[in-house]
Amino acid sequence: LAALQSRTLCTTCLSFPLLFQCAVPLAQRGFAAEAKKVFVRDKPHVNIGTIGHVDHGKTTLTAAITKVLADAGGTRYKKYEDIDNAPEEKARGITINASHVEYVTPNRHYSHTDCPGHADYVKNMITGTAQLDGCILVVAEMIMPGEDASLILTLRQPMVLEKGQRFTLRDGNRTIGTGLVTEILPITEEDQVNWG
């Protein structure tokens, strides 16, 4: 033990072995500025997050928010690669653990949580959203390729639909989905609208 102690001297005070506490006070080791630095909160704080399906652009949006605010002087820019920085996240190209970034606007201080969207990591997403004041729901497409979804639609205008009829959902010139009418539900009094 004495041989080990004699070879492992503290690089700060050069007199005590590393097995014991260093004799040089914290203030003289160069850490005093960090230790005494006090965070001043002069703006309201908001916890916000991005949630949504895998590959819809949650991390990309988070990086874009930090880029825009960094250009305006409100934060430090965090690249996409820096937000998803765990090796397994980089290897798979998906967010596994919730990541955190901070930014400031003229009116508020934000703590932003980028939540995972993959079905295997729902537990991590729920954990990440537990303290949020609000969320940004990121939806790239209503239904992603290869997914099946059941929709119940209330039409704004009356139209003739038959069971088995194919339909296309459009937003302007963009097709956002196609489908097949599988069931037509009867109109109830609550559903009736005065079209007059």
Residues annotated as catalytic are: 55, 58-59, 118
Return the structure tokens found at 38: 């006090």
- Which of 1, 17, 25 is closest to 9 using CA atoms? 17
Tell me how far apart the alpha carbons of residues 26 and 13 are, in angstroms, rounded to a whole number.
11
Task: Tell me the three state secondary structure of residue 114.
Answer: strand
Tell me how far apart the alpha carbons of residues 80 and 85 are, in angstroms, rounded to a whole number.
9
Name 102's bridge partners.
111
- Which of 53, 48, 136, 137 is closest to 94 using CA atoms? 53
In the chain, what is the straight-line distance between the N-terminal and C-terminal CA atoms, in Å? 94
φ, ψ dihedrals at 121, nearest 5°: -120, 30
